[in-house]
Amino acid sequence: MKLQRPGLQVEEESEKNQPSSSSQLKLPKKLPTIENVMKRLSAALSALEQLCSEKAEKYTRQAQGERLAGESQTTSGIGKAQIIKGKLVEFEFWMQKQGYKIPTIQSRMMRLQTLVKRGANLLDSESVKKTIALQKTWSDGTKANVVDGYTCFLEKEGLTWNPPRYTRLEQIPFIPSEEELNMLIGSCGKTLGTFLQGLKECGTDPRELAAITPKDINKEARTITINRPVKGHRPRILTVSVELIRRLEDITNGSERIFDDFLLRRAFYFKRKTTAHKLSNPRLLEITFITFRHWFGTTQYHKTKDILHVQRLLGHKNIQNTLIYIGLESKLFNDLSDGFTGRVANNTGEACSLIEAGFEYVTGEYDGCVKIFKKRN
């Protein structure tokens, strides 16, 4: 038997285990460049970043849903109405801090309060969607305005939602006769009747007239200053009748504002319904506050045929909003055309230009400061 030293055996085994140079792992002939490596790393990082973003968005949606569910459960236990009322007060103050105009704040608050009265839970976006969809008497334009108001409310709460889509459709406005407007005005009480008479004579947006104060009324000059125009309108001074000035003085009680838009609307809807039934005239049900403005613009263009003059009276910044009254006037007064084109002059220079263009002077001052000229077609 042949004995071997242990050390020698280990050395021999290690030599056997070492691969020969011919059997070593073959390296690729061409190593990847640094640019290729960086591109692969960049692609991997982009994929990882997208994955993280999707995960974060998912967790955010879950957290928002848990927050809404938690608040909804809490409100059911400690008085949902009181908490929502508090949320609305906070929302109104938040809009003031954000610089929203008073008419915008009032309209959005009114829409949200209407949602609450009709059963919507402002802390549950699905409940709001359902309530809006169930309002059969609301036009798509009204629904779109309510959606905008609720979206603003969620913005204040730091939440988002998937809003329903409603498209504002352009429609030809309803133009009643002057007799129908006068019947509606005569059936109303002192305050509401004065407000409607003001809309008829001034042609303002109802929110503009509701915002006037006693200092905006000039008794001697018979004018009303519109210093709080709505979006898309300019401030302006409008001439009114002596009768309207008298009626305004009768209801002025020294407060900051003469009218309350919300209370006036509630009283108007009731009076309009009862008057239409009493007079058996369903056309009166089509009249709204803004109908007075459409009637004013149409009749003013019919009297003057001067679209720039109508634009100044209505306060439009964009004349495209005024051009609709040209088409309305041509259809409503088609049979009453006298074959003349009218123009108005605000100063001596404009009057001279009209005379040079062949226009004839018709009357004295109209609406306080303009003169009317006409020219046969």
Q: State how beta strands 370-376 and 360-366 pair.
A: antiparallel
Euclidean distance between CA atoms 141 and 280, whole angstroms: 29
Which residues, listed in sequence order, are joined to residue 372 by a DSSP beta bridge? 344
CA–CA separation, 13 vs 133, rounded Å? 86
pLDDT for 309-340, tens place per residue? 999 999 999 999 999 998 888 878 765 555 66
The CATH number given to 79-157 is 1.10.150
The pair phi, psi for residue 238, each rounded to 5°, is: -120, 140
Q: Are the CB atoms for 295 and 200 separated by under 8 Å? A: yes
Higher pLDDT, 227 or 41: 227
Q: Is the pTM of this model over 0.85?
A: no
Average pLDDT, the chain: 83
Inter-residue contact 72 to 63 (CB < 8 Å)? no
Residues in the chain: 377
Residue 248 is predicted with a pLDDT of: 94
Tokens of 341: 């084109």
Q: Cα separation of 273 and 9, whole Å?
A: 115
End-to-end CA separation in angstroms for the chain: 140
Q: Which residue has the tokens 């809404």?
A: 68
Q: How far apart are CA 82 and CA 116, in angstroms?
A: 12
Q: Residues near 236 by Cβ (< 8 Å), separated by ≥ 6?
A: 225, 226, 229, 312, 313, 315
Domain boundaries, the chain: 79-157, 178-288
Q: Which strand (E) or helix (H) includes residue 187?
A: none
Q: What is the mean pLDDT of residues 147-172?
A: 92
Tell me the average pLDDT across 293-310. 92
**Model pLDDT, residue 304:** 86
Nearest to 186 by CA among 196, 201, 198, 172: 196
Mean pLDDT of 71-93: 75
269 vs 340, higher pLDDT: 269
Please provide the CATH number assigned to the domain covering 178-288.
Answer: 1.10.443.10
